[in-house]
Structure 1
Amino acid sequence: MDALDQRLQILHQAGMLSDQHAKDAALLREFFSKRYGITLTEENAGAFFTHFCMALHRLETDERIDPVDEVIQDEIQDEADYDNACFVADEIQQSVVALPDWERGYILVHLIVLLGKVREAYDKEILGE
């Protein structure tokens, strides 16, 4: 059991995630592995996975959060991985769980970071950079 599995187990046992949403969080990891060959780990996706789990909790409790600030939204649109992050976010919506629109900006921020970390790891391991 790795750190993300432990986090998921703790959130589930603490009542923060229903059985179904705990399965959805596990499905997110499986989705990344099968669809993109990306293993979500504490190092590359700790913040993303935690945010995703908390978004699931907010779904359960009908809690709404403010969307990402417009300044941040404008900044992330200039990121190299923005279009890829949008594509992945859309696939998560369709294949894993549909999250409310106000979560999208936060998910995109985390996906941009994740994709950057995956690229860095690839460059380091494969290209020796």
Structure 2
Amino acid sequence: MEKLLERLRILEQSNVITQKTKERLLHMISYLESTHSIILNEDNGGRFITHTAMAIERIERGEGFLQSQGVMEEEIRKEENFAKAQNIAEALEQNVFKLRFPLQEKYFIITNLLVLMEDL
């Protein structure tokens, strides 16, 4: 966990993310652990944290993505824990980030949650 916190400090200090984004991600880390017993660390969550941080920053700047459903999304929907991961992603959007993610970003979050849930 300490390495994840260091990652967030570096991103903030280098002005890649804002303090608000950092706080949102810290809230996400705490939420996932306390609500879903998903414990993030550098190995299982480093890329997830960085990508989510960048997605939040893009959304805050108003940079959008084309909303389309592709083969990847169709495959992800077949996963056993898809519904649970989707519910967690929606809770993160509404209760933690208070942002609406473009479809591609939401599926990235869902995919990462599915991987994390395999380790439970």
Q: TM-score, normalised by structure 2?
A: 0.86
Indicate conservation of the 8 Å contact 2:27/2:96, yes or no.
yes
Indicate conservation of the 8 Å contact 2:86/2:110, yes or no.
yes
**Residue 43 of structure 1 aligns with which residue?**
43
Q: Number of paired residues? A: 118
1:75 maps to a residue whose letter is: E
Deviations 1:61-110 (A, max 9, x none): 22223457611001101111211111111111122012323321111111
1:64 maps to a residue whose letter is: G
Given the alignment of the two structures, is residue 109 of structure 1 paired with residue 94 of structure 2, yes or no?
Answer: no
1:109 maps to a residue whose letter is: T
Q: Answer with 1 or 2: which has the greater Rg.
A: 1
Q: Matched residues in 2 for 1:12 and 1:67: separation?
A: 29
Q: Matched residues in 2 for 1:41 and 1:35: separation?
A: 16
1:20 maps to a residue whose letter is: K
Q: Matched residues in 2 for 1:105 and 1:23: separation?
A: 22
Gaps of 5+ in 1: 120-129
Q: Matched residues in 2 for 1:6 and 1:74: separation?
A: 35
Gaps of 5+ in 2: none
Fraction of identical pairs, as percent: 28
RMSD, matched Cα: 1.8
Question: What SS class does the counterpart of residue 96 from structure 1 fall into?
Answer: helix
Deviations 1:4-49 (A, max 9, x none): 1111111111112111111101111111122123221112222221
Indicate conservation of the 8 Å contact 1:47/1:110, yes or no.
no
Query: CA separation of 1:63/1:75 partners in 2, compared to 1, >3 Å: closer, same or farther?
Result: same
